[in-house]
Chains A and B, each alone.
Chain A
Amino acid sequence: MDVDRSVAALSEVFSTLLFFAAAVALLEGFLYVVLARWLKWRLATPILLIAPAFVGLLALIAYPLLWELNVSFTNMNLSRLCDPGIPAGLLTECKGQNMFLGIENYINVFTRPVLQQAGFFQVFWQTVIWTVLNVAFHVGLGLGLALLLNRRIRLRGAYRALIVLPWAIPQIVSLAIWRTELNSEFGMVNQLLAVVGVEGPSWMTEPFWNFFAMVMVNVWLGVPFMMVILLGGLQSIPPDLYEAAEIDGANRRQTFRHITLPLIRPVMVPAVILGVVWTFNNFNVPFVINQLELETSDTLVTGLFRAAFQYNRYGFAAAYAFVVFAILLVFVIVYIRRSGALRSVNE
């Protein structure tokens, strides 16, 4: 560990904290004088409270979003790199060349290959299959394990602690481990398969098996979260209901169907929304497991990264990004409407 480097790092982070403090003090002081002292406005206090976060989000989310929107109408790439700047308006010219394309990028997203060969719809279907398989296994296995863990048995705590491990371990570590263990020659997976007498596939080079490996790893990573959430839901169901059902002569299946399922719904619906959004947007797993950059294993989000950072087609990547964002937004709105989750948001 290099002392100079560490001191430099320390002072850098510390100065950033000071910078934040100073910026917030300035902003708050200004707003306080103007809103509270001069205008004596009723809303001065909430504005003062929210202002720092608001300004931060404006600078780091709203501004980049607008920038991205602006760029999505141009043919910007590495050789035509122009910054639209803050007030800007539409970006039409760069280094004397016209670069405004209108909605051409948006049309190209659907009609031209988004990667080297794969088109949008191929990658879209890959993403849908990836998301559906993962969430189905997360919920199915998670619910199964939660039901098992909800019984009165010994070693419950030990099982729970072990099963939660994949969630607890830093994701990058798990992925590095899995990528190594999927090595066709020395990895554990193929060695174990060899013990049973099966010759394991080459996980990194064969498209089907690479996709299979991605899903397998992500299921391994995601089940514990769902299990723990659903277990929380199961434990909040009052036992009297089960006793009453038993007295009324309901069998286990009926009890599950009419008591357990409806009562864990309030926990399950938001968990499924989160699960879908997280899986759809998952970058690390498809990026790390797909080491050889097979286009058959790309999802929309890794495709987006490649379009922007490997092929440097910024204008195109921006349009593509908005399409992906829109898909997710539509899904979530429909799902929330349908399931009635988050009904209380604005109350």
Chain B
Amino acid sequence: MSSTTVPTVQPAAVASTNQDRWAGSGRGDSPVARAMIHAGLFLAALIAALPVLRVISVSLRPDNRLLSRDLNLVPEGATLASYGHVLFETDFPQWLFNSLLITVGTALIGLIFAATSAYGFSRFKFPGRGVGLTALLATQLIPATMLLVPILILAIQLDLVGTYRGLVIAYAVTSVPFSIWILKGYYDTVPIELEEAARIDGCSQLEAFWRVLLPLSTPALAIVFLFNFLAAWNEFVLARVLIGSQTDLFTWPLGILRFQAQFQTQWGDLAAASVLVSIPIVALFLYSSRWLISGVTLGGVKG
């Protein structure tokens, strides 16, 4: 079955591949207007990129110049020493490894839970369905710090403090509502006739889900995986409460803020670690941003 039978996820994603629709108006801009557009965009790009350039520059500084007031982008005596230090003489690689494990575990569990529940919400009518969907949306309004105390107490009772179990469970479950919304929205756009055809050919309902709907939903599943991955990867406050103060258990956000303690900042370590953490994420993000966006609007707009 070719994937072209699936309706498109989001009009914007399609439109942006269509060259003719790029310009907002049919008219070309005059040279003056064009210069002003470039000026505006250049300024915005500069403001967006400046702190990034700056942190790269700081990460290249030699030890004795960390606190200089140098504004040059390539510092005098540029060196990779800070990278060496962060990678081989601090817990930073351990923190990255911890974060990666937690994040992958979380994203997998969250995806499986959401994929099946969303199927239930998309293809079946049952009492409480509308209420359930609205309640899922309402969970998104709960302030991040509201449930910290009860979750901490729950974790203490179940002996989950200072372990990753509690963190994985908490991340996975809290990611489920948003994921269900995105996936349900996507399933709704896949014609039910495809599954009906499969059932006529002898599939059970769950086989139709597994063999027809799921393969057709790979783009949406990828979005959800990515969303949950990024959310868990960047999470800070719950990790701070549940992991406690044992530094070798830290996830990288806890670790990186430790480099930047109140009175003495290890600028070199902080900058090098920041660059190392950001490179893969920025790459992943730029590569997938179009789908990420369609995911956000899908959940909200299409219902």
Contacts and interface: CB of A to CB of B under 8 A. Distances in A.
Interface of A: 1-2, 5-6, 9-10, 12-17, 19-20, 43, 45-47, 49-50, 52-54, 56-57, 59-61, 63-65, 67-68, 71, 83, 141, 144-145, 147-153, 155-156, 158-159, 161-174, 176-181, 183, 186, 188, 191-192, 195, 220, 224, 228-229, 231-239, 242-243, 246, 255, 260, 266-267, 270-271, 273-274, 277, 281, 283-284, 287-288, 291, 300-302, 304-305, 308-309, 314, 317-318, 321, 324-325, 328-329, 332, 341-347
A1 B97 contact: yes
Contact of B270 (A180, A236, A314): A180
B260 A153 contact: no
Contacts of B277: 170, 173
Contact of A232 (B102, B150, B293): B293
B176 A173 contact: no
Contacts of B241: 309
B234 A344 contact: no
A162 B54 contact: no
B19 to A, nearest CB: 9
B138 A2 contact: no
**What DSSP secondary structure best describes chain A's contact surface?**
helix
**What DSSP secondary structure best describes chain B's contact surface?**
helix
A28 to B, nearest CB: 10
Given A64-B150, A162-B45, A283-B145, A147 B297 contact: no
Given A232-B293, A321-B145, A344-B302, 20 more contacts: A14-B105, A16-B168, A54-B117, A57-B176, A60-B151, A61-B174, A64-B154, A144-B40, A151-B24, A151-B29, A179-B260, A191-B69, A229-B297, A233-B12, A255-B25, A267-B297, A273-B300, A283-B143, A308-B148, A346-B133
A343 B134 CA distance: 12
B109 A6 contact: no
A168 B120 contact: no
B147 interface: yes
Interface stretch (B77-85, B157-165, B195-203, B220-228): B157-165
A56 B140 CA distance: 16
Interface string B128-149: 0110111001111111111111
B1 interface: no
A159 B151 CA distance: 43
A321 B253 contact: no
A295 to B, nearest CB: 16
A77 B297 CA distance: 42
5 contacts: A61-B173, A170-B277, A191-B69, A231-B12, A239-B26
Given A16-B164, A148-B40, A304-B146, A50 B151 contact: no
A324 B46 CA distance: 37
A168 B151 CA distance: 30
Interface in B1-52: 10-13, 15-16, 20-29, 34, 37-38, 40-42, 44-45, 47-52
